[in-house]
Amino acid sequence: MLVEPLSQKEIEERLAELPGWSLDDGRLTRTYRLGSHFAATAMVVHVSQVQEELDHHSDLTLGYNTVSLAVHTHSAGGAVTEKDVELARRVEDLAVGHRAH
């Protein structure tokens, strides 16, 4: 599927509705903090499940009690696309249930 790069303005509009997310080195990124290492691990598994469902994958990093994501679209030459925004929204939704902030 061909996905178009978002313009700078479009990225800023999407970010305005994704608190905590930012554009860092050309990728949509966010770090979540959790209550424990195990809680962070559980969130990684949940994010992985969503990524498989969407067939869209971030660089997903597990820390002691943190989960960090960085995503761009390889098939769009590494640009940020609507697929990255969709993944960020889905992660925001599931983060609530993990008490991630």
SS (H, E, C) the chain: CCCCCCCHHHHHHHHHCCCCCEEECCEEEEEEECCCHHHHHHHHHHHHHHHHHHCCCCEEEECCCEEEEEECEHHHCCECCHHHHHHHHHHHHHHHHCCCC
The contact mask relative to ligand H2B for 44-73 (x = CB under 6 A, - = no) is -----------xxx-------------x-x
* 90 lies in the site for ligand H2B, by CB under 6 A: no
In the complex, minimum distance from the CB of residue 42 to ligand H2B, in angstroms, rounded to a whole number: 22
Which residues of the shown chain bind ligand H2B in the complex (CB under 6 A)? 55-57, 71, 73-75
